[in-house]
Amino acid sequence: MNILDKIHETAVSKSERMAIKSEQESLTYGELDAASDRLAVWMKQNDPEGTTPVIVYGHKNPYMIVCFLACVKAGRAYCPQDISIPESRVRDTIESVHPSLIFAVEGEVSVVASEHAGRIVTLHKIREIVQTENGSYDRSWQVSPEDVFYIIFTSGSTGKPKGVQITTDCLNHYLDWSVNLGSTSKEKEGAHFMNQAPFSFDLSVMDLYTSLASGGTLYTMTKEMQGDYAKMFAFFAESGLHIWVSTPSFADMCLSDKKFSKELLPELRVFLFCGEVLTTATAENLRARFPDAKIINTYGPTESTVAVSDVEITDGLLADTVAGGKSLPVGSAKPGTWLEIWDENGNSVAEGTQGEIVIIGDTVSVGYYGREDLTKKSFLTCERGGKNWRAYKTGDAGYLIDGQLYYNGRIDLQVKLHGYRIEIEDIENNMVRLPQIDHAVVIPNVKEGKVYSLTAFVTGTKGGQSDHEFAKGIKEGLKQFLPSYMIPKKVRYLDTIPMNNHGKADRKYLGGLVS
């Protein structure tokens, strides 16, 4: 599959079909293809020497997609940044990328204005370019298979996000598989896909590009709609969705309203889940409310291009899993991928034995942008089937039975909270940037393998404040460094942090205080 060719083919054969529909406006395949060609021409003329990735800042505007495609058509990688990311984190990213060009589609331009960045192009100018540019587009400019297509930044334990680089080849191999998830690519033609995740999360790649690769229409749901049940349910009623893509947490939130059922979404055929544990309770609830829709659980980190395994949660599998008091599997490997379980010496363990999940194959990232040190720690090369492949040590714990992968938590301090990937040290390192805090230890509140909230234990200067005032001040202060989902729900002041025998914070003891 070549995603750019696919989009172009649909633009030629079904030019009037909607590619993206948002609250504000919609773009057909013909418009999307032509607009991205024109913007690519403009990029070639106005930033001819530019080689850096291009930052695309905004929320759910269809013109973000025009910018993504224009970048790769002009041979440049793009890096999406959602407007909900705090300014200081956007600035960290800009500082590490040094973009010669930024497309500021939505949000405050002042957030992306930086001495480390070149020209900023706003939506007004982008519209002008796509209406007036008349140079002709040259396909030879587009990214080659080994070039980086996009960079998605994710929580990093140092306190600064790290950029995962996904090549054109990785994306195309991923799409060869994802277009057939839950239904064939032919059946997906013209289907309505739901976009829930912001484009700065790799889950959005599952809906955006699977939809574009199969000639579907992407329905984007804004953050504002997601924060208002009436608006969200109006979106469901109007969209006529066929394919649902979200984290299980988002589906759980929708399930809390009785209206979320087949009557609301009569055309829904497939639930595609990724990113966190799908519990049997969520799956049972969905089976009852949407008896005709398939539920597909997929697994994978951003570093392996969204997902690398899938399993359909049939009634039989669900009943057996519940009866056995077990967890649902996360699936078997997609073609072109090997899923292995290694011990700490890098040896494969016996079937059914727990170890670290290692992903080897054709969708593994080339590493973290500008971070050779971090890349070396987690990525390696492995020979399989007579060829060398990139491999990624996930840090996930799991085991394999009959080719089915089971996920069983992490071997480090990364967590998933409401579907968001968070390095606990990322929060701790940002907490100590506040002058009131000397030492911070963040503890997840875990029930049945799922994280429900975070509690921070801190030492420092309370300055005569009550516990409540102190915690409120800390949470307020953290907003400048961290997105809201990373801010601990509770902040507890301690005179000292308890230490274990190794002289490290006693996370086990503190865990006992939050459960």
Chain positions contacting ligand AMP, by CB under 6 A: 154, 202, 274-278, 297, 299-302, 330, 394, 396, 407, 416, 421
Minimum Å distance from CB 490 to ligand AMP? 23
Cα–Cα distance list, 221 to 18, 57, 192, 417, 420 (Å): 16, 17, 13, 20, 17
Minimum Å distance from CB 225 to ligand AMP? 22
Amino acid at 7: I
Evaluate whether 210 touches 175 at the Cβ level (below 8 Å): yes
Minimum Å distance from CB 1 to ligand AMP? 21
Q: Which is nearer to ligand AMP, 167 or 302 (CB)?
A: 302
Is 357 strand, coil or helix?
Answer: strand
Q: Which is nearer to ligand AMP, 41 or 330 (CB)?
A: 330
Amino acid at 25: E
Q: Which is nearer to ligand AMP, 301 or 460 (CB)?
A: 301
d(CA 6, CA 196): 23
Token output for 180: 């057939």
Token output for 363: 């969708």
Minimum Å distance from CB 421 to ligand AMP? 3
Minimum Å distance from CB 414 to ligand AMP? 7
Residue 81 φ/ψ, nearest 5 degrees: -130, 120
Q: Which is nearer to ligand AMP, 243 or 458 (CB)?
A: 243
Q: Which is nearer to ligand AMP, 274 or 510 (CB)?
A: 274
Minimum Å distance from CB 295 to ligand AMP? 12
CB atoms within 10 A of CB 323: 8
Q: Which is nearer to ligand AMP, 52 or 378 (CB)?
A: 378
Minimum Å distance from CB 274 to ligand AMP? 5
Residue 3: name the closest of 214, 240, 318 by CA: 214
Is 251 strand, coil or helix?
Answer: helix
Is 275 strand, coil or helix?
Answer: coil
Amino acid at 488: P
Is 436 strand, coil or helix?
Answer: coil
Q: What is the DSSP string of 177-238?
A: HHTTSSS-HHHHTTPEEEE-S-TTSTHHHHHHHHHHHTT-EEEE--HHHHT-HHHHHHHHHH
Q: Which is nearer to ligand AMP, 421 or 507 (CB)?
A: 421
Minimum Å distance from CB 304 to ligand AMP? 9
Q: Which is nearer to ligand AMP, 318 or 494 (CB)?
A: 318
